Amino acid sequence: MENDAVCETTVSVNDDVDTGDPEAELNMVDLLEGAISNGEVIEELGNAGEVLTRVELELACFSEKLVNLSVLAMHVANRESDFEAFASVEEHILGDSIEKTLEFDLLSGILDSEARELDKFTTTLQADVISARVIVSSLKHLGENFMEMEGKVRDAEQSLQQSQDQVSEIRKQSAKFQRIISSSNQDDNRNSGRGADFPEDDDLLNMNANIQTAGQQRHILRMLEKSLAREINLEKKLTESRQIEEELKLRLHSSEQEVFYLDEEAADVWERWFQADNTSQVLLGISKELLGRLQIFQFNLNGSLLRESELRSKLEHSTDQLKVKEIDFHKLKTSSADLNDSLLARTNSLKARLKEAEDKLIIANSEAFTLREKVSSLE
């Protein structure tokens, strides 16, 4: 019900905007334009973040490969030292020669192949870093977000440059190992040639070889078994490294999917935020209107309270005056009663005197009449 009320309010407010104040229409247009620009900024940030995430994951995978290759280069360098020390000794055991030559040749070949693959991978990674640089460079208007992404791109470029230097160094070492092997093969060919020129020495060597054949063959077989075991171990490690690489690729793909889902969720959240912002703007307008009405009501209430105070003061004044008048009326009533009593007493006294005078008048008239009669009789 509250949502329906909000929707109705939104519709009514939009109707008011469409038919009412032009300033409100401009504000609504500005709000919509700001929301659209925010959506474009979010999309640009999502694309740049996806590219940077891919570059960072590729750099992590490249760094792990480079560490493994560096370990392999160190191992080959140790075998190269053993090989050179062994080659410098003229009298040596044939089994050790074959074992060390095969092992050094095999490891140097693996190192050269992996170094070439890693060098090719640096080209792809460099293209991705350049693409990330182009994308981030187009986001200079984003301020702090641009500075953060610029820092990530700069770190990626530095890391890539360091990795390229390390790969170049490993390539140099691998080329050195290949030259050593080539030189050793050439020496063997020359020794074979000298053996053809001196058949007597060759016969002597064949005799010595026949004497030591059984023991040397067993020794050679043991050395070959060890070499094969080491080769198998190296192949297992390489397989594990490739499995780790595949797992990293799967994790990268999973991370990309998660980023995609997060982008969708972010778009949904931004849409909800826009709706909530629109609703908040509508509710803000309603609250401002209600606040205005409340202020008017408060003003009228203050006026009513002031008038009530004035009327109350007048009422109290009138009550005081009424009490004074009642007191005066009571006093007047009391004095009037006393006056009436006094007047009644005087009236009664005058009536008594009047009656006495009338009686005396009657008596006087009767005496006068008697005197007139006597006077008339005397006449």
124-169 pLDDT tens trace = 888 878 877 777 777 666 666 667 777 777 887 888 788 888 888 8
For the chain, the farthest-separated pair of C-alpha atoms sits apart, in whole angstroms, at 241
Query: What is the dihedral angle through the alpha carbons of 159, 161, 163, 165, rounded to the nearest 10 degrees?
Result: -150
* Per-residue pLDDT tens over the stretch 14-23: 444 444 444 5
CB-based contact 141:110 (threshold 8 Å): no
Token digits of residue 342: 């006094």
Q: Count Cβ atoms below 10 Å from residue 238 Cβ, excluding itself.
A: 14
| Contact predicate 114/170, CB 8 Å | no
Is residue 24 in a domain? Answer: yes
| CA–CA gap between residue 78 and residue 103 (Å, rounded) | 11
75 lies in a domain? yes
Q: How many CB atoms lie within 10 A of CB 116?
A: 13
Q: Burial level of 263, CB count in 10 A (0-12/13-18/19+)?
A: middle
Q: What's the pLDDT score for residue 12?
A: 40
143: left (phi over 0), alpha (psi -120 to 50) or beta: left
pTM summary value: 0.38
What is the pLDDT at residue 141? 64
* Residue 319, domain member (yes or no): no
Q: What stretches in the chain show pLDDT beneath 70?
A: 1-48, 79-101, 103, 139-146, 177, 181-231, 234-235, 238, 241, 379
Q: Which residues contact 173 (CB under 8 A, 6 or more apart)?
A: 73, 76, 77, 111
- Residue 11 located in a structural domain: no
Q: Is residue 32 domain-resident? A: yes
What was the pLDDT predicted at 9? 38
Distance CA(370)–CA(363), nearest Å, equals 10
Number of independent structural domains in the chain: 1
Residue 6, pLDDT score: 36
Does residue 334 sit within a domain? no
Enumerate helices (H) and strands (E) in the chain, giving the number of each. 6, 0
Instruction: Report d(CA 303, CA 296) in Å as an integer.
Output: 11
Closest of 243, 249, 246 to residue 54, by C-alpha: 249
Q: What share of the chain is helix, strand, coil (3-state, %, to 5)?
A: 95, 0, 5
What is the reported pLDDT for 2?
A: 38
Dihedral sign from CA coordinates of 189, 195, 198, 201: positive
- What angle, 0 to 180 degrees and rounded to 10, lies between the N-to-C axes of helices 22-87 and 144-197? 20
3-state DSSP assignment of residue 132: helix
What's the pLDDT at 250? 86
Query: For position 92, what pLDDT does the model report?
Result: 44
Structural domain contains residue 378? no
The parent domain of residue 240 ranges over 16-297
Instruction: State both tokens at 326.
Output: 């009642």
Tell me the C-alpha distance between 16 and 13, whole Å. Answer: 5
pLDDT value at residue 291: 92
Is 346 inside any structural domain? no
Residue 181 to residue 176: CA distance in whole angstroms: 9
The predicted structure's pLDDT at residue 201: 43
